[in-house]
């Protein structure tokens, strides 16, 4: 994976991130399409995600939950708003309640992901648009917490001399 760029626009409330993967477009598409692959990267290692529903078509619904270190659960949902395999995916991602269904007043985040072939590799561009401050704050808070935990677990691994896992 090569990280290409990140462009944040605090006025329009969007973040555009570009990365290149050493795999054909179809393979990169599969990490979104296949729920067993998707759940391996959507949530952080400390909050792994489980997709219990994943309808990968226009208008399709997904339901997932992430399980925290103490066994606590945080549920979310997707709605696929547009899909053009294997080039473009548009979806909304929001918070769900304890029943796993979208919270009644939830304002989801809107994401557009595009996939382009680039000399045998795949360039993936993710554009996220926020509609709501509260959501960005919640998501940002989760990211910060995750970053901290990840850093801690890496330090633990180094201290334990577990070089195999770090590499």
Partner 1 sequence: MVVDQLSDAEVDAIFHALADATRRDIVQRVMREEQSISALTENYTMSWAAVQKHVSVLERAQLITKQRRGREQVVHGNAETIRRAARLLDAYEQIWVERFQRIGDILAEPDPQHENERKKGTR
Which residues are at the interface with partner 1 (CB under 8 A)? 1, 3, 6, 8, 10-13, 15, 17, 19, 21-23, 27-28, 31, 37, 40-42, 44, 124, 126, 128, 130-134, 136-137, 139-144, 146-147, 150
Cα–Cα dist 79/22, whole Å? 28
Q: Exposure of 122 by Cβ count < 10 A (0-12 exposed, 13-18 middle, 19+ buried)?
A: buried
What number of CA atoms fall less than 13 Å from residue 17's CA on the CB side? 9
By beta-carbon proximity to partner 1, the closer residue of 59 and 154 is 154
Give the nearer residue to partner 1 in terms of CB position, either 101 or 156: 156
Closest CB to partner 1 among residues 159, 167: 167
Strand partners for 15: 8, 128
Least CB distance from residue 16 to partner 1, whole Å? 10
């Amino acid at each position: 994976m090569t990280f290409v760029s990140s462009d944040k626009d605090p006025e329009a409330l969007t973040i555009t991130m570009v990365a290149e993967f050493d795999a054909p477009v179809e393979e990169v598409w599969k990490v979104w399409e296949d729920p067993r692959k998707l759940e391996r990267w959507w949530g952080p290692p400390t909050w792994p995600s489980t997709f219990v529903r994943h309808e990968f078509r226009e208008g399709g619904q997904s339901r997932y939950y992430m399980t925290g270190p103490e066994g606590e659960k945080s549920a979310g949902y997707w709605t696929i708003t547009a899909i053009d395999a294997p080039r473009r995916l548009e979806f909304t991602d929001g918070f769900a309640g304890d029943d796993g269904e979208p919270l009644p007043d939830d304002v989801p985040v809107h994401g557009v992901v595009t996939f382009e072939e680039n000399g045998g590799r795949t360039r993936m561009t993710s554009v996220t648009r926020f509609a709501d401050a509260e959501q960005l704050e919640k998501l940002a808070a989760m990211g910060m917490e995750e970053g901290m935990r990840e850093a801690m677990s890496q330090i633990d691994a180094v201290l334990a001399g577990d070089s195999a896992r770090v590499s």
